[in-house]
Amino acid sequence: MNAQLTYEELAALMKAGAGVTVDPQQMESRPATAFEEYGLDSLGLLGIVAVLENRYGRPLPADADRCKSPREFLDLVNNTLVAGA
């Protein structure tokens, strides 16, 4: 299974899980922008981590909810999924 989380999916998870609307293209063009600047707090990110763990049936690293930016989060999630594939 080639599972890769994209900016589009992350934006959808942010909207569904935390009510934060973000343009995926904006996030992709500025991947180091802090989640806080998009209005996503650590609790919202923790909820996204839980959804992804359920979706992929495996735990993410314990520090996943401490990622500061979309790029950092996507790198961590996608590296974890590749390593577990």
CB 44, CB 28: distance < 8 Å: no
In 3D space, the residue among 83, 27, 38, 37 whose CA is nearest the CA of residue 58 turns out to be 83
Q: What is the pLDDT of residue 68?
A: 96
Q: What is the pLDDT of residue 50?
A: 96
- Distance from the first to the final alpha carbon of the chain: 7
Q: What is the pLDDT of residue 1?
A: 46
- pLDDT tens per residue, the chain (85 residues)? 457 899 999 999 999 988 999 999 999 999 999 999 999 999 999 999 999 999 999 999 999 999 999 999 999 999 998 887 6
Q: What is the pLDDT of residue 83?
A: 85
Question: In order of start, what are the domains of the chain with their CATH numbers?
Answer: 7-84 (1.10.1200.10)
